[in-house]
């Protein structure tokens, strides 16, 4: 029976073994925590290094793209104050050897150039303002009709208008020219420049999408109160769509400012020409040798014409981005 006896360990000996094993387990736990902390720090350093490399690559890419975009403007500025001889050097200079500020004075000297750029500048301002105002009226009314009014064939008509955006505008040049010159007899008039481009499907689509974001319940409530459609449009929808309308105004003004082919085609008379046409002919008008045009003076004229558009874009670019982004979201 001695084999069946159970050996009883004293409580003091068992507690001593537990106390002896506890420090070993604690050391193992601390070692595991230390390894985990090292792994976390290593991963964090790796992520930080990748983040820094990504940011550096992004800024490098943006710097290169900014240089590509800004270099033509820099070249235009320095070329506008060079002499003709320096401009025609085989090895271009990145900084003028001598500043010729008289190039800017020659721009508006009609006696020397035979081109009245001052009048063309005023013509461009007039055409830009009138065409922008009339185009805004047409765009607002059309967008409101497609966004709020209900009539038969509305969706089919809007889809047909959108389909016309896939047709290049150059295909309409011949038909528009025949209509304006032969049918309407508008040659050498401002109407020939303004009327054919009053309607823009893209602007109508842009503003319609913005109008659709305005809750229809406001329109229904206004109709219950007896408000007319035009009053609701003027008091509610136009103020809410102001960023998009500002974007359309800027884009339309820039389009009219940069127009070249159509004004030159329908208005051969210098009294109705726009500034872009004068810029094209200015270099040759100042040179006695057609093979050696005065490009510095032409560059000076381009600088003067570009400044208004550049200022408009700098001060109103946030409205352009805000208006376009709002018009692309429905809900």
Residues 6+ apart with CB under 8 A from 158: 146, 208
What is the spatial distance between Cα 249 and Cα 257, in angstroms, rounded to a whole number? Answer: 12
pLDDT tens for the chain, 331 residues: list them: 444 554 544 544 445 554 545 555 555 666 666 666 666 777 677 788 888 888 899 999 999 999 998 998 899 999 888 888 888 888 888 888 888 888 888 777 755 667 777 888 889 989 999 999 999 999 999 999 998 888 888 889 999 988 988 888 778 888 888 998 888 888 888 999 999 888 889 999 989 988 888 888 888 888 888 888 888 888 888 888 888 888 888 888 888 888 888 888 888 887 888 888 888 777 666 666 666 677 888 888 888 888 888 887 777 777 666 655 555 444 4
Domain borders along the chain are: 24-79, 110-327
Looking at domain 110-327, which CATH architecture does it have? Orthogonal Bundle (1.10)
Residue 279 tokens, joined:
């810029």
Give how far Cα 248 sits from Cα of 8, 27, 158, 207, 262, Å.
96, 71, 19, 9, 21
Residue 29's pLDDT is what? 63
Residue-wise DSSP of 182-218: IIS--TTSSHHHHGGGS--HHHHHHHHHHHHTS-HHH
- Residue 313: the pLDDT is 77
What are the start-end ranges of the E strands in the chain? none
Q: Phi/psi zone of residue 114: left (φ > 0), alpha (ψ -120 to 50 degrees), beta?
A: left
Cβ proximity of 135 and 200 under 8 Å: yes
pLDDT score at 18: 46
Report the C-alpha gap between 1 and 147 in whole angstroms: 103
């Amino acid at each position: 029976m001695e084999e069946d006896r159970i050996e009883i360990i004293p409580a003091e000996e068992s507690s001593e073994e537990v106390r002896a094993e506890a420090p070993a387990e604690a050391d193992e736990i601390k070692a595991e925590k230390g390894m985990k902390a090292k792994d976390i720090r290593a991963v964090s350093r790796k992520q930080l290094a990748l983040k820094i490399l990504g940011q550096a690559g992004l800024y490098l890419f943006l710097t290169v793209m900014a240089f590509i975009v800004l270099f033509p403007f820099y070249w235009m500025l320095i070329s506008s104050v060079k002499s003709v001889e320096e401009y025609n050097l085989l090895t271009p200079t990145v900084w003028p050897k001598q500043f010729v500020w008289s190039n800017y004075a020659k721009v508006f000297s009609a006696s020397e150039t035979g081109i009245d750029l001052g009048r063309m500048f005023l013509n461009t301002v007039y055409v830009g303002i009138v065409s922008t105002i009339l185009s805004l009226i047409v765009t607002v009314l059309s967008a409101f009709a497609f966004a709020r009014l209900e009539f038969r064939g509305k969706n089919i008509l809007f889809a047909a208008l959108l389909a016309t955006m896939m047709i290049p505008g150059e295909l309409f040049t011949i038909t528009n020219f025949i209509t304006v010159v032969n049918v309407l007899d508008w040659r050498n008039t401002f109407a020939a420049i303004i009327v054919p481009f009053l309607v823009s499907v893209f602007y109508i689509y842009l503003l319609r999408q913005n109008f659709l974001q305005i809750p229809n319940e406001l329109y229904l409530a206004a109709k219950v109160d007896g408000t007319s459609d035009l009053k609701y449009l003027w008091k509610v929808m136009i103020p809410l769509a102001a960023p998009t309308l500002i974007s359309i105004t800027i884009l339309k003004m820039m389009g009219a400012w940069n127009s070249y082919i159509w004004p030159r085609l329908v208005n051969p008379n210098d009294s109705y020409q726009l500034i872009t046409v004068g810029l094209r002919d200015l270099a040759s008008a100042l040179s006695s040798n057609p093979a050696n045009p005065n490009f510095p003076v032409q560059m000076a004229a381009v600088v003067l014409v570009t400044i208004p558009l550049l200022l408009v874009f700098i001060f109103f670019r946030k409205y352009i981005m805000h208006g376009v982004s709002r018009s692309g979201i429905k809900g």
